[in-house]
Amino acid sequence: MFYAPFAIIAHDTASDPVFNYANLKALDLFELSWEDFVHLPSRLSAEPVNPAERDRLLAEVTEKGNIDHYEGFRISSTGKDF
Residue-wise pLDDT tens digits, 18-35 = 999 999 999 999 999 999
φ and ψ at residue 4, rounded to 5 degrees: -60, 150
Q: Is residue 82 part of a domain?
A: no
Q: Is residue 73 part of a domain?
A: no
Query: What range does the domain containing 26 cover?
Result: 9-64
Would the CA dihedral through 56, 59, 60, 61 be positive or negative?
positive
Q: How many domains does the chain have?
A: 1
Q: What is the pLDDT of residues 37-61, one digit of tens each?
A: 999 999 899 888 788 988 888 888 8
Greater model confidence, 66 or 27: 27
Q: Is residue 77 part of a domain?
A: no
Q: Is residue 39 part of a domain?
A: yes
Q: Is residue 74 part of a domain?
A: no
- Place 71 in a pLDDT band, splitting at 50, 70 and 90: confident
Q: Is residue 56 part of a domain?
A: yes
- pLDDT value of residue 53: 86
